[in-house]
Chains A and B, each alone.
Chain A
Amino acid sequence: MSNHYIEVKNLKKYFQTPGGNLHAVDGVNFTIDKGKTIGIVGESGCGKSTTGRLMTMLLEPTEGEIFFDGKDITKLTPKEMVEYRKKIQIIFQDPFSSLNPRKTVFHSIAEPLEIHKVYATKAEKENRVYELMELVGLSDRFVNSYPHELDGGRRQRIGIARALALSPEFIVCDEPVSALDVSIQAQILNLLKKLQLQFGYTYMFITHDLSVVKHFSEEIMVMYLGQMVEKAPVKELFANPRHPYTQALLSAIPVPNLKKKKERILLQGEITSPINPRQECRFAARCSFATEQCRKEVPDITDLGGGHSVRCLRIHEI
């Protein structure tokens, strides 16, 4: 038992598929301190969202423990779970599909208040809804609007207001801006940041956009095919990426800056199937440094100190 606010130990989620066990999340460990943000990046399908869902207990983990404020939430009874739900919230990637198309803005935001019967009177509830709308910068003339009548930015604000309704402590942001326009994206990122400063939220920020995550978080975990491949404080990771995948990822970001053009590391080949993966380094198929050994054993995590750890066999050679 440590004194971290959130501690995840050996988290695993396998999905049963017709083709076999799909290792969506395969033994992930990390910790988050109160009021801090961890960024999770990685290729599509590497298990980011699954990790997020596990954190909010929308999925039952196959294995592993999630300690929240010292309590293992994977072992809660359904009753306790309802209480826990108030403290942990999630904001989804696609603000349109994450809102009930047949509920007005008001009802979408009021929904959690109604579920938990937080307010005794209607008036209190209404006040709270208007308060939340104000907070996320939604004009109150939208109370009776439907999601399809609003644009992406406003929709995402509803999603945020809803997540804030029960005064949570920990919010999983599952790609909250990737469906938005660049100009709106910045508005939302600013809002989230402001809220964190104001209320001290702890965030888990999932994205595939490294520049966003760099802007947003203190620590970054890079995932590949369900496993953590590298984890480090933001500056350390960008300054000193050690895993070949992280290196490729960083170099692949197109930078809107003419002066700072850098050499690309191009990955060859396709992502391997996460179904019944073999006993090997999962990145080996695309790694230009891979050796025979990489194709035979699963690399362990090497702690490089300073919160920097890497999963690579040849970490000391490259």
Chain B
Amino acid sequence: MAQIDLTLAPTGKKKSKKRSLWADAWLRLRKNKSAVAGMIMLATILIVIYSSPLYLDYDNDVIKPDLTQTLQFPAKGKLLGTDELGRDVLARILWGGRISIGIGVLAMMLSSIIGCTLGAISGYYGGKTDGIIMRSLDVFMAIPSLLLMITLVSIMKPTITNLIIALAIGSVPSVSRMVRAQVLYIKGQEFVEAIRAQGASDFRIIVMHILPNAISPLISQFVMEIAGLILAISGLSFIGLGVQPPDPEWGAMLSSGREHIRDVWHVTAFPGIALVLTVVALTLVGDGLRDALDPRMKR
């Protein structure tokens, strides 16, 4: 009984591509008004910000002071006014967004790679492995993350790379926990057992089957975590450990202008608004994704 001796000629033809889960989620996302608003906002922000090298010259527009034009109010030509070095606030916001969002995204990616690995191993194998990983993460959880970041940054020098690393380390424990919880839930589902019954290795099960299922409900959280990280950078900048000058960064701009908020509000207000808008957009998209990927929304 080695092979099924069915002589039926296989049809071979395939039906036109059906929409995938993601396409499905996309359809649902498109129907979600606030998510669409968020996506439009986010897309606009990203396009405007990331195309800034096309219309801004870093040396001349972004970092070059004009000490004759300091703290000018918004006017023609300098739509959002100038900062205490006479630099165009708008140009710095646009450029700074590349850095703020870039750091947030990269830190999130780093922490989700580490977090997913740890969470998946911990959740899948359970037992002692789980115990060791989780207890170590508990330790990191018990140190307030801002403090941890400050210590790390002050040990490693506040370069952008180190900021990303410090932010990522700060958020690894919570990411791992989320992933672990998902993995635990998915591991308990029958399909994992079904795949094991076919002889798949643990590696294959984790990478091909569990992680894709575990991550998609978390994607919205990851998106929102980016927002949290951008806020964390601004907190670090407040204590002077954020992105180092002359690079503009929203948090740093926001906190450096706070001294004159009563006179020249625009120096603080506009970076703040940019930050808030981005975070709002990210959150809206994240919320939308969560709903779109919610299995209960499936038929």
A158-192 CB contacts (< 8 Å) to partner B = 159, 162, 164-167, 169
Which residue on A lies nearest to B13, using beta carbons?
A: A140
Cβ of A148 under 8 Å from chain B = yes
Known: A102-B212, A111-B200. Contact between A92 and B17, CB under 8 A?
no
Query: Are A115 and B198 neighbours in the complex by a CB distance under 8 Å?
Result: yes
Query: Are B191 and A131 neighbours in the complex by a CB distance under 8 Å?
Result: no
Cβ of B54 under 8 Å from chain A = no
Cβ of A316 under 8 Å from chain B = no
Known: A115-B200, A131-B6. Contact between A98 and B299, CB under 8 A?
no
Q: Which secondary structure dominates chain B's binding surface?
A: loop
Cβ of A82 under 8 Å from chain B = yes
Query: Are B14 and A116 neighbours in the complex by a CB distance under 8 Å?
Result: no
A118-167 CB contacts (< 8 Å) to partner B = 126-127, 130-132, 134-135, 140-146, 148-149, 159, 162, 164-167
Query: Are B199 and A167 neighbours in the complex by a CB distance under 8 Å?
Result: no
- Residues on B with C-beta less than 8 A from A149 are 18, 299
Cβ of A199 under 8 Å from chain B = yes
Shortest distance between the CB of B179 and any CB in chain A (Å): 16
Contact of A167 among B2, B10, B12, B13 (CB under 8 A): B2
A: contact size bracket: 35 or more
| Contact indicator per residue, chain B 287-299, by CB within 8 Å of chain A (1) or not (0) | 0000000010011
Cβ of B260 under 8 Å from chain A = no
- Residues on A with C-beta less than 8 A from B196 are 58
Cβ of A101 under 8 Å from chain B = yes
Query: Are A164 and B17 neighbours in the complex by a CB distance under 8 Å?
Result: no
Contact of B15 among A134, A135, A140, A166 (CB under 8 A): A140
- Number of residue pairs A-B, CB distance < 8 angstroms: 111
- Residues on A with C-beta less than 8 A from B139 are none
Shortest distance between the CB of B22 and any CB in chain A (Å): 9
- Residues on B with C-beta less than 8 A from A116 are 198-199
- Residues on B with C-beta less than 8 A from A126 are 10, 12
Cβ of B189 under 8 Å from chain A = yes
Query: Are B194 and A99 neighbours in the complex by a CB distance under 8 Å?
Result: yes
- Residues on B with C-beta less than 8 A from A99 are 191, 194
Query: Are B8 and A134 neighbours in the complex by a CB distance under 8 Å?
Result: yes
Query: Are B4 and A164 neighbours in the complex by a CB distance under 8 Å?
Result: yes
- Residues on B with C-beta less than 8 A from A199 are 1, 4
Cβ of B68 under 8 Å from chain A = no
Query: Are A140 and B194 neighbours in the complex by a CB distance under 8 Å?
Result: no
Query: Are B10 and A131 neighbours in the complex by a CB distance under 8 Å?
Result: yes
Distance between Cα atoms of A90 and B193 in the complex (Å): 10
Query: Are A167 and B4 neighbours in the complex by a CB distance under 8 Å?
Result: yes
Contact of B1 among A56, A101, A169 (CB under 8 A): A169
> Can you identify 15 A-B contacts, CB atoms within 8 angstroms?
A56-B197, A85-B197, A101-B295, A102-B21, A115-B201, A130-B12, A134-B8, A141-B15, A142-B15, A144-B14, A144-B18, A146-B18, A148-B298, A149-B299, A165-B198
Other than A98-B191, A159-B194, give 10 A-B pairs with Cβ distance below 8 A: A58-B193, A58-B197, A85-B199, A98-B189, A111-B195, A127-B12, A140-B13, A144-B18, A162-B194, A164-B4
Mark B residues whose CB is within 8 Å of A: 1-4, 6, 8, 10-15, 17-18, 20-21, 24, 189-191, 193-201, 204, 209, 212-213, 216, 295, 298-299
CB-CB nearest 5 A-B residue pairs: A85-B199, A98-B190, A130-B10, A112-B198, A144-B18
